[in-house]
Structure 1
């Protein structure tokens, strides 16, 4: 994929006269958002160290289209390994184009791009001088049941009964699903976009996950500062959810769950919940760049099926939901991309990913791993130092990628400390 086909953004406002330092923000499973070129913690670092700032979009996302469409055959060119090769080529081309010489490049990323940042420093140490890998799930796993275990732990911090009430509500929903005459009530209560139809275990699992995902997202992004990106509903926190779930005046746990979902919908300015598996598969199998899942859904699920797994199942007893097991997630791979996908092929792919990158057994130097401990993804990240030059920053009360966002007074008190630590590490590393 020629570098001119990959979208990128440049901010030279902080570049020092000698221009010897470059900060590269790595894009991930969505369009590169230019909001990061004018706001975010990395710009404060750039100002301190006189760095040129560049953000590179990931192939197959946003407007970076290397193929005519997203057919399953073409998606074989979508992988983290290819993304790293793209970064290396882009860095080489831009170094020549901008006359950057032997400048030191520091890579930044959050979530999947956080993993890419760490892996780029590991696999291309001659190009990446250092990496800040925020909320990076570096260990691939097929059945990521720990995700919902962390959701339960996080929700129980201030409301010990919150997860139990959610479990009771979820169990009630499952009981209602056993009788078709309840489908209209469920549709009306949860404001589904169309009348609920359950003709298979995939239909029921998709519906149950569609509801639970609202709670999962609240936990993952609890009290963060994503609003600067244009994200809506950031005012809905774990506290809001659990206050509703604990409010017995609203009725039984089922009625409280209904209230939570409706509250989230209103905050997100969404009219209804899409809960049709049939419609989902139709959208996800559309291979056009203008298709309904082209903003990242078709691409990212493909990467989970072929590289990472990361399937957030209800297979653990220590979590608040029911009804979307590992088998449901693996079946999606088959339904959307290729009938040949099964648990064996996915397991083999995930194993190869960990063999290639090392999983938790990261090797390298000059990488820092900030992780919010509320965030379920921290369970697949580095949460303690691995050596003299591989540092972890566990951040209590902080959410997914929280250290990356612009500073605000209401943020958890650990974040300023974390940013100062990152600044100190960059100061040390850039002197080398």
Structure 2
């Protein structure tokens, strides 16, 4: 038993922590490709959103399982999706990456027993984004349970002020290789400069009308949140670049440079209103950023094309307003996370860190060296998605190479 799992159990038995309420955790098993009984187990980890029943039937992990005769399993992260308690409202004290890793260890024991596996069976963890970090940390903390891991777009280094995110976004919006251009970046910067002027002025009712706000953003916090939400639309186009319907750098830049669609600020408003609303997972993920990771993308340097209302102070204030977590506690939590997991130097072997050159999250991952792969033209977690006709050549080549790695 690992020291982490043992510590959690001892603390609970000693009364150092309240006993967590029971909850149902969803998982899926796909034995279609398994070469019984010795074939490896490929475990796909869930992250900051729910998992779908078909998660093991498509995508690169399924292709790898087919090539290597693996039993496929997927484990949804506690409290996200359908993995909640009887009342449906989870106790956030028990929402953390450490608890998620303990869940993984318990799940491995369950599958080993249910499927008659050897205690020394080969297990490989896969994950993308936060789940990619979990995959790497599972190998770090449970090396006797996890033989290897593939961490796609994994931000293993926690950071309070993630200004580097917007620098990558800015570079992508101006890059012709992915459908951007200097004109596009200029139009985006002009749109947000105009938005800032309006937010500092007195005609806030017009802003509320343009962006379909539920009320006029008169308070500073409302203006900051509006600016951040609009910036998320543009950042998301870069981060996912074509892996969400109608959401790509090329599509965004065509709209932002089309003079027939009105002023740059008008074009930005239209793009913002086309974005689907966020799900219930947002509050849970906000809690984890406040208590473990930070990841707040401020717009404080000249390279950032977005609103100057997008400040670190404004984003930290959400932690205080929603959960009563002061900025000093956020900074202390981030420092602990980096000390506990090793930040950008996790100190473990047999972990492959895969990043896309277009992905802003690569700034907080592991790049270079024998354990890091950077794919030209690829976006966030693109290597895990099913192949598409528009995939960059480097991504197609990487997927093919990993089938036999």
Partner of 2:300: 315
Equivalent of 1:382, from 366, 389, 403? 366
* Structure 1 match to 2:59: 40
Pick the aligned partner of 1:401 from 378, 381, 387.
381
Q: Does residue 305 of structure 1 match 2:305?
A: no
Kindly indicate whether residue 300 of structure 2 is the aligned counterpart of residue 326 of structure 1: no
Shift of 1:179: 3.7
Measured at CA, do residues 34 and 19 of structure 1 come closer, stay the same or move farther in structure 2, by a change above 3 Å?
Answer: farther
**Contact preservation (8 Å) 2:188, 2:268:** yes
Aligned match of 2:329 in 342, 345, 348? 345
Report how many residues are paired: 380
SS at match of 2:125: strand
Matching residue within 247, 258, 263 for 2:269: 258
Distance 2:126 2:106 in 1: 17
For 2:232 and 2:301, how far apart are their aligned partners in 1? 16
Describe the shift of the 1:70–1:337 C-alpha distance in structure 2 as closer, same or farther (beyond 3 A). Answer: farther
Q: 1:422 corresponds to which residue?
A: 402
Structure 1 residue aligned with 2:166? 148
Structure 2, unaligned runs of 5 or more: 1-19
Q: Does 1:129 align with 2:147?
A: yes
Q: 1:91 to 1:4 in 2, by over 3 A?
A: farther
Q: TM-score, normalised by structure 1?
A: 0.83
The 10-residue stretch of structure 1 (115-124 or 316-325) with the greater mean CA deviation from structure 2: 316-325
Q: Paired residue for 2:194?
A: 172
In structure 1, stretches of 5+ residues that fail to align are: 227-233, 275-292, 426-432
1:59-107 CA-to-partner distances (Å, cap 9, x unmatched) read 1111212474647xx2111110110011011101210111011321110
Contact residue 118 and residue 133 of structure 1 kept, 8 A: yes
Match of 1:81 among 98, 104, 117: 98
On the 8 A contact 1:3/1:93 being kept in 2, the answer is no
Number of the residue aligned with 1:336: 322
Distance 1:181 1:380, change over 3 A: same
Cα offset, 1:172, TM superposition: 0.9
State the match for 2:248 in structure 1.
237
Q: Which residue of 1 aligns with 2:117?
A: 100
3-state secondary structure, aligned to 2:366: coil
Q: Cα distance, 1:41 vs. partner?
A: 0.6
- CA drift of 1:212 comes to 1.3
Deviations 1:364-398 (A, max 9, x none): 1111111011111111111212x5xxx21101111
> Whole-Å Cα distance in 2 between the matches of residues 241 and 2 of structure 1?
45
Contact 1:115 1:136 in 2 (8 A): yes
Q: Structure 2 vs 1, CA of residues 177 and 2 (structure 1 numbering), >3 Å: closer, same or farther? A: closer
Give the Å deviation of 1:418: 1.5
- Kept after mapping to 1: 8 A contact 2:204/2:216: no
Counterparts of 1:219 and 1:310, CA distance in 2: 17
The answer on 1:360 being equivalent to 2:344 is yes
Pick one of 79, 82, 94 that aligns with 1:60.
Answer: 79
Shift of 1:311: 0.6
Residues 372, 394 of structure 1: 8 Å contact kept: yes
| Preserved CA contact (<8 Å) 2:23 2:86 | no
**SS of residue matched to 1:125:** coil
- What are the Cα deviations for residues 271-290 of structure 1, in whole angstroms up to 9, with x where unaligned? xx79xxxxxxxxxxxxxxxx
CA contact (8 A) 1:15 1:50 kept: yes
